[in-house]
Amino acid sequence: MLNIIIFLIGILGVALVSYGAWLILPACGFITAGCIFIMWSYFASKMIANSQQIESKEG
């Protein structure tokens, strides 16, 4: 349950940051959202890779 809440708060945060940047300049909102999603993807894949390394060392 806590993971779902954290995920939803993260999505809401991305949307608010992107919308705030879009109010300044529409292109800036899309660039901000894209950068945030790229960072999110990088950190998620890094976390998955680290968890697989830990599992392979244990087994």
pLDDT of residue 59: 57
Q: How far apart are CA 59 and CA 54, in angstroms?
A: 9
Residues 41 and 13: their CA atoms lie apart, in Å, by 15
Task: Write out pLDDT tens, residues 3-28.
Answer: 888 888 888 989 999 999 999 999 99
Q: Which pTM does this prediction carry?
A: 0.69
Distance CA 55, CA 5 (A): 26
The stretches of the chain forming alpha helices (DSSP H) are 2-24, 26-58
